């Protein structure tokens, strides 16, 4: 074997090793996005299971607030449907509706001292608030994983491997402008 042949083989080996390294890094990022979504999904399912308990507890006290309770259940179902489909845009919209409904429900609970004093209601309210905070934290981690994935599959030379193996960009989980807007404190206390 000539020196030129050995040099070519070494270069080919190094290129192949580099391509394998890039591929493995892209696979790790893709699975990082899936893992981050799974973490959100777990919390969404836990909240999904807690909401009917909250609504049932509220029904006992809030006979005149049926519309609010129905809105919360409808929003809960919309979140579950979008989550099941993996539709990030629909999920963001449904989450906005659910958060608005929960905010309204908790604000209405202020008018029912017996409900506010109910131990079950207090426990469920704290549990759902904790889940909401967890979802917000996991959403941030998910969007970071998506961003890393999407940037990496567009960068050279990763883009060559990504296109060859059909790596796809993931969709960020975004919420509507209404959820990101400042809270109108006057409206909450009127």
97 within domain boundaries = yes
Which tokens sit at 130?
């904790």
Range of the domain at 76: 40-151+169-188
Burial (0-12, 13-18, 19+ Cβ within 10 Å), 58: buried
- Please give the model's pTM, rounded to 2 decimal places: 0.71
pLDDT mean values, one per 10 residues, the chain (190 residues): 89 93 93 91 88 82 76 88 85 86 84 79 86 89 93 92 92 67 44
For the chain, how are helix, strand and coil distributed in percent, rounded to 5?
80, 0, 20
State the pLDDT at residue 30: 93
The CATH number for 118's domain is 1.20.1440.20
Q: Tokens 């990101």 map to which residue?
A: 180
Confirm whether 34 is domain-assigned. no
pLDDT of amino acid 162: 92
User: Is residue 30 included in any domain, yes or no?
Assistant: no
pLDDT at 53: 85
Query: Into how many domains does the chain fold?
Result: 1
Residue 164 included in any domain: no
Domain assignment of residue 16, yes or no: no
Task: Answer whether residue 137 is part of any domain.
Answer: yes
Query: Is 79 a domain residue?
Result: yes
Q: Is residue 4 situated within a structural domain?
A: no
């Amino acid at each position: 074997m000539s020196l030129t042949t050995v040099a070519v083989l070494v270069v080919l080996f190094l290129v192949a090793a580099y391509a394998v390294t890039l591929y493995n890094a892209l696979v790790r990022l893709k699975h990082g996005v899936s893992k981050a979504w799974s973490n959100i999904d777990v919390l969404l399912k836990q909240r999904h299971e807690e909401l009917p308990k909250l609504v049932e507890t509220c029904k006992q006290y809030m006979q005149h607030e049926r519309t609010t309770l129905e809105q919360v259940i409808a929003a809960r179902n919309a979140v579950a449907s979008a989550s099941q489909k993996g539709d990030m845009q629909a999920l963001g919209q449904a989450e906005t509706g659910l958060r608005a409904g929960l905010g309204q429900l908790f604000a209405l609970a202020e008018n029912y001292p017996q409900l506010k004093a109910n131990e079950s209601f207090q426990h469920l309210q704290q549990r759902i608030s904790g889940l909401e905070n967890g979802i917000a934290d996991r959403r941030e981690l998910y969007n970071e994983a998506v961003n890393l994935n999407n940037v990496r599959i567009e960068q050279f030379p990763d883009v060559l491997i990504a296109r060859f193996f059909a790596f796809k960009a993931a969709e960020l989980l975004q919420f509507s402008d209404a959820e990101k807007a400042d809270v109108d404190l006057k409206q909450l206390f009127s």
